[in-house]
Chain A
């Protein structure tokens, strides 16, 4: 029974992905570009060399974190549309510790990560507090908090103590001891190789374990399924909302830290929100909110993003990637309609 449901989610997801590529192909045809050429480029950009695969993993790491963050919130019936903001404050916290604290790497790296997790958790917990104490819908406050984080980040980047002299619109670089750089044989292959992906995988497993095997997970799921029954059983749903939103925020904050410490090394001033948090929603939806599924869907999204950067080489606008991802989400979002139809068919099939 359960396997069937899982199976059908997988099937629908794959179907949605196929449809996403078809819609992308049609649009490419309309603007006079051969989908064959575009998709071939996308494919070879990711798979033709081992280092490209590593690049995809680098692109995937922050997305797995934000995906986990959103998936975690879904389990309790909260929609963390604020992963974007938590991601930003997480990277800010890691930046501050990464620039101003001087420690050996073995301490510096964990300290940066902890700071980022705490910052993300706090950022999300404020929204949780407004929800449980004041009854303010979390979606609204999350979106506001995204913008606050965005402007705050741009402000901090331009502070004198943080700003890099003559470095354009960006902060100083974090110290070398705060970086997640991978061993030399990997960085020789691609300079940005880092531990972020392994951290993401470890977190995904930890999240899965927490949700399915612990008493905390039991409470999270109970509240997510039925707030009234959970309350009846003595579980305080307000407490659980606060915990789940904090953990969700911590995961997004870690994503911000991994992006900074593994990839960029500094924060730039941005013209618009970067979108890691929003892309996390896509990752969580494709994964069906399964933590381990987030690894796979994060990899998929990461590969698409990385492949997309090379599309301009064959004169294909890389927006086509966004269109494909958008279409996939659109179809997954309406998938429950499909699923109902499908299950009826399946029942019919099994009965015949």
Chain B
């Protein structure tokens, strides 16, 4: 990396404290960013990373502490001010207008006027130039709805660059990207820093930190722990600093013989939302006491398959058989009663009712059953006690969050709420879709342990994940999905990453 001047401090956040009510999300945090560096921020779910970045981006003011940009103290009271200071932020959830083109999205809110009409030509040229300069390969005329998630993220980055950002904040930019897209993003980041821009990178993946970052600031439960040179530390060191204990990356799994078949999917055909055929005769089975991993690149039919299995989508033809009974296209409530539980892909859309409290969310499928309801009346005490127990067992933070709206928890803790609920809903089949997306390494270890425990209790587990590492470390059997069909199956034990990767790309085993 050729830095402009890696010794120039460009941003300094000193003693930042942020309180929400009497809860302290940031407790005297220090952050120093140099010109041209990639600075990672590492911390467990709910440690306060997003909060710190939102403060830097002017979303809300710190309770106390100061911010200096290029040596001058500043008060960033709104994002507009942050943008003027050269700070740009790419949020985890994109804020793009689907039917608009890339250019239209980028100029939105600062349209170049030509008399009374909007002059897009100039903007388009500028966007094309920026895209070339940083190797983003974005087509300014493409419509957002037609481009992939990875491409949309680049549009967000372009938007920030277009507004003249020198400092880019990327909050969990890789959480929804495929491994290939992640590689490309890392390259883009290199182009940016080579040009003297500084990048603040939030990610839970230590691999990415090792790959891209120069320095790393660790925070734990809102407190500043340390800032270290990434080159001096191993992944294990970083994980230990972040969690405050040693993290075991290996999943312990005892050998076990699966018994009868719980789920059998036969020759399933289905269409995606555009009406194109997406499942093209998919068949698979899961037995009691085994974890079957479904490996594949996003967009090969995984979402549609899980939607059908959980009753949220419809199959055109083919059968879903559960414990010998055909259950194809039954509604979600019925499938749940028959024993299909699910950690959904999209936690904000399906997993949680965001304005509902954590307690209310924890009874989403069972609200009408004893002890949570009697004669149609909700039993507040039972509901609260149940939540209290799960919050403690699953270490959902902050402790005592029973009555908080789920939407105010950090992303990782929202995921823990769902996991707590679905793991304790005992059905014969558990479908886990990207169960550790957005979780910190400590929480991942914990979730993996739970999934294995469910297997050991002789539940059937279907694990759908875009993380090959996760599939390989958990599965007893791996099915590879490509273009709406299973194209190959390997044993989990000793599976070869290279072979799997080739199958996932449509090549023969």
**Interface membership of A1, Cβ < 8 A:** yes
Cβ 8 A contact of A218, one of B334, B344, B367: B367
- The answer on a CB contact under 8 Å between A215 and B367 is yes
Q: Provide the bound-state CA to CA distance between A1 and B344, in Å.
A: 29
Q: Provide the residues of chain A in CB contact with B225, threshold 8 Å.
A: none
- The answer on a CB contact under 8 Å between A232 and B354 is no
Q: Provide the residues of chain B in CB contact with A137, threshold 8 Å.
A: none
- The answer on a CB contact under 8 Å between A213 and B354 is no
Q: Provide the bound-state CA to CA distance between A352 and B78, in Å.
A: 16
Q: Provide the bound-state CA to CA distance between A1 and B356, in Å.
A: 14
Q: Provide the bound-state CA to CA distance between A228 and B351, in Å.
A: 9
Could you tell me the distance in whole angstroms from the C-beta of A126 to the nearest C-beta in chain B?
24
Q: Provide the bound-state CA to CA distance between A246 and B391, in Å.
A: 38
Q: Provide the bound-state CA to CA distance between A350 and B17, in Å.
A: 13
Give the residues from 323 to 345 in chain B that come closer than 8 angstroms, CB to CB, to chain A: 331-334, 336-337, 342, 344
- The answer on a CB contact under 8 Å between A236 and B333 is yes
Q: Provide the bound-state CA to CA distance between A221 and B353, in Å.
A: 9
Could you tell me the distance in whole angstroms from the C-beta of B364 to the nearest C-beta in chain A?
4
Q: Provide the residues of chain B in CB contact with A226, threshold 8 Å.
A: 349, 352-354
- The answer on a CB contact under 8 Å between B378 and A218 is yes
Q: Provide the residues of chain B in CB contact with A228, threshold 8 Å.
A: 349-350
Q: Provide the residues of chain A in CB contact with B334, threshold 8 Å.
A: 234
Q: Provide the bound-state CA to CA distance between A236 and B335, in Å.
A: 13
Give the residues from 12 to 43 in chain A that come closer than 8 angstroms, CB to CB, to chain B: none
Give the residues from 196 to 238 in chain A that come closer than 8 angstroms, CB to CB, to chain B: 213-219, 221-222, 225-226, 228-236
CB-CB contacts of B59-70 with A at 8 A, as 1s and 0s? 011111000000
**Interface membership of A347, Cβ < 8 A:** yes
Cβ 8 A contact of B376, one of A214, A236, A351: A214
Could you tell me the distance in whole angstroms from the C-beta of A4 to the nearest C-beta in chain B?
9
Query: In this complex, what residue of A is CB-closest to B380?
Result: A213
**Interface membership of B21, Cβ < 8 A:** yes
- The answer on a CB contact under 8 Å between B378 and A229 is no
Cβ 8 A contact of B344, one of A219, A222, A232, A235: A232
Q: Provide the residues of chain B in CB contact with A336, threshold 8 Å.
A: none
**Interface membership of B175, Cβ < 8 A:** no
Q: Provide the bound-state CA to CA distance between A219 and B334, in Å.
A: 16
- The answer on a CB contact under 8 Å between B63 and A351 is yes
Query: In this complex, what residue of B is CB-closest to A216?
Result: B376
Q: Provide the residues of chain B in CB contact with A236, threshold 8 Å.
A: 331, 333
- The answer on a CB contact under 8 Å between A229 and B352 is yes
**Interface membership of B428, Cβ < 8 A:** no
- The answer on a CB contact under 8 Å between B367 and A344 is no
Given contacts A234-B332, A348-B61, contact A229 B377 (CB under 8 A): no
Q: How large is the interface on A (under 10, 10 to 19, 20 to 34, 35 or more residues)?
A: 20 to 34
Given contacts A225-B355, A234-B336, contact A215 B365 (CB under 8 A): no
Q: Provide the residues of chain B in CB contact with A352, threshold 8 Å.
A: 61
Q: Provide the residues of chain A in CB contact with B423, threshold 8 Å.
A: none
Q: Provide the residues of chain A in CB contact with B404, threshold 8 Å.
A: 1
Could you tell me the distance in whole angstroms from the C-beta of B415 to the nearest C-beta in chain A?
14
Q: Provide the bound-state CA to CA distance between A350 and B62, in Å.
A: 10
- The answer on a CB contact under 8 Å between A232 and B355 is no
- The answer on a CB contact under 8 Å between B312 and A222 is no
Q: Provide the residues of chain B in CB contact with A344, threshold 8 Å.
A: 60, 78
Given contacts A213-B377, A232-B332, contact A222 B356 (CB under 8 A): yes
- The answer on a CB contact under 8 Å between B350 and A215 is no
Q: Provide the residues of chain B in CB contact with A219, threshold 8 Å.
A: 367
CB-CB contacts of B122-140 with A at 8 A, as 1s and 0s? 0000000000000000000
- The answer on a CB contact under 8 Å between B61 and A351 is yes
**Interface membership of B310, Cβ < 8 A:** yes
Could you tell me the distance in whole angstroms from the C-beta of A50 to the nearest C-beta in chain B?
39
Query: In this complex, what residue of B is CB-closest to A4?
Result: B21
- The answer on a CB contact under 8 Å between A348 and B77 is yes
Q: Provide the residues of chain A in CB contact with B63, threshold 8 Å.
A: 350-351
Q: Provide the residues of chain B in CB contact with A225, threshold 8 Å.
A: 353-356
Q: Provide the bound-state CA to CA distance between A230 and B332, in Å.
A: 10
Cβ 8 A contact of A214, one of B78, B349, B353, B378: B378
Q: Provide the bound-state CA to CA distance between A351 and B54, in Å.
A: 14
Cβ 8 A contact of A215, one of B18, B77, B352, B376: B376
Could you tell me the distance in whole angstroms from the C-beta of B407 to the nearest C-beta in chain A?
10
Q: Provide the residues of chain B in CB contact with A229, threshold 8 Å.
A: 349-354, 364
Could you tell me the distance in whole angstroms from the C-beta of A243 to the nearest C-beta in chain B?
13
**Interface membership of B368, Cβ < 8 A:** yes
- The answer on a CB contact under 8 Å between B356 and A215 is no
Given contacts A232-B332, A232-B344, A236-B331, contact A215 B368 (CB under 8 A): yes
Query: In this complex, what residue of A is CB-closest to B55?
Result: A351
**Interface membership of B233, Cβ < 8 A:** no
Given contacts A232-B310, A232-B351, A235-B333, contact A218 B360 (CB under 8 A): yes
Cβ 8 A contact of A351, one of B62, B336, B377, B408: B62
**Interface membership of B491, Cβ < 8 A:** no
Q: Provide the residues of chain A in CB contact with B377, threshold 8 Å.
A: 213-215
Q: Provide the bound-state CA to CA distance between A347 and B337, in Å.
A: 45
Query: In this complex, what residue of A is CB-closest to B23?
Result: A1
Cβ 8 A contact of A213, one of B21, B62, B378: B378
Q: Provide the residues of chain B in CB contact with A233, threshold 8 Å.
A: 332-333, 353, 364-365
- The answer on a CB contact under 8 Å between B356 and A221 is yes
Report which residue of B19, B61, B337, B373 has the largest number of chain A beta carbons within 10 angstroms of its beta carbon.
Answer: B61
Query: In this complex, what residue of B is CB-closest to A343?
Result: B60
Q: Provide the bound-state CA to CA distance between A232 and B78, in Å.
A: 37
CB-CB contacts of A293-311 with B at 8 A, as 1s and 0s? 0000000000000000000
- The answer on a CB contact under 8 Å between A232 and B312 is yes
- The answer on a CB contact under 8 Å between A234 and B333 is yes
Give the residues from 1 to 38 in chain B that come closer than 8 angstroms, CB to CB, to chain A: 18-19, 21
Q: Provide the bound-state CA to CA distance between A350 and B22, in Å.
A: 11
Give the residues from 357 to 376 in chain B that come closer than 8 angstroms, CB to CB, to chain A: 360, 364-365, 367-368, 373, 376
Q: Provide the residues of chain B in CB contact with A1, threshold 8 Å.
A: 21, 404, 408
Q: Provide the bound-state CA to CA distance between A350 and B63, in Å.
A: 8
Query: In this complex, what residue of A is CB-closest to B421?
Result: A233
- The answer on a CB contact under 8 Å between B378 and A234 is no
Q: Provide the bound-state CA to CA distance between A25 and B376, in Å.
A: 50
Q: Provide the bound-state CA to CA distance between A226 and B61, in Å.
A: 30
Q: Provide the residues of chain B in CB contact with A221, threshold 8 Å.
A: 353, 356
Give the residues from 223 to 266 in chain A that come closer than 8 angstroms, CB to CB, to chain B: 225-226, 228-236
Q: Provide the bound-state CA to CA distance between A344 and B19, in Å.
A: 14
Q: Provide the bound-state CA to CA distance between A177 and B364, in Å.
A: 48
Q: Provide the residues of chain A in CB contact with B344, threshold 8 Å.
A: 232
Q: Provide the bound-state CA to CA distance between A64 and B259, in Å.
A: 62
Q: Provide the residues of chain B in CB contact with A222, threshold 8 Å.
A: 353, 356, 364
Report which residue of A221, A228, A232, A352 has the largest number of chain B beta carbons within 10 angstroms of its beta carbon.
Answer: A232
Given contacts A215-B368, A215-B378, A218-B360, contact A230 B60 (CB under 8 A): no
Q: Provide the residues of chain B in CB contact with A351, threshold 8 Å.
A: 18-19, 60-64
Q: Provide the residues of chain A in CB contact with B350, threshold 8 Å.
A: 228-229, 231-232
Q: Provide the bound-state CA to CA distance between A222 and B357, in Å.
A: 11
Q: Provide the residues of chain B in CB contact with A214, threshold 8 Å.
A: 376-378
5 A-B pairs in the complex with CB atoms less than 8 angstroms apart: A231-B332, A231-B350, A233-B332, A348-B61, A351-B62
Known: A232-B344, A234-B337, A351-B62. 4 other contacts (CB 8 A): A218-B378, A222-B356, A231-B350, A234-B365
B interface residues (Cβ-Cβ under 8 A, vs A):
18-19, 21, 60-64, 77-78, 310, 312, 331-334, 336-337, 342, 344, 349-356, 360, 364-365, 367-368, 373, 376-378, 404, 408
A interface residues (Cβ-Cβ under 8 A, vs B):
1, 213-219, 221-222, 225-226, 228-236, 344, 347-348, 350-352
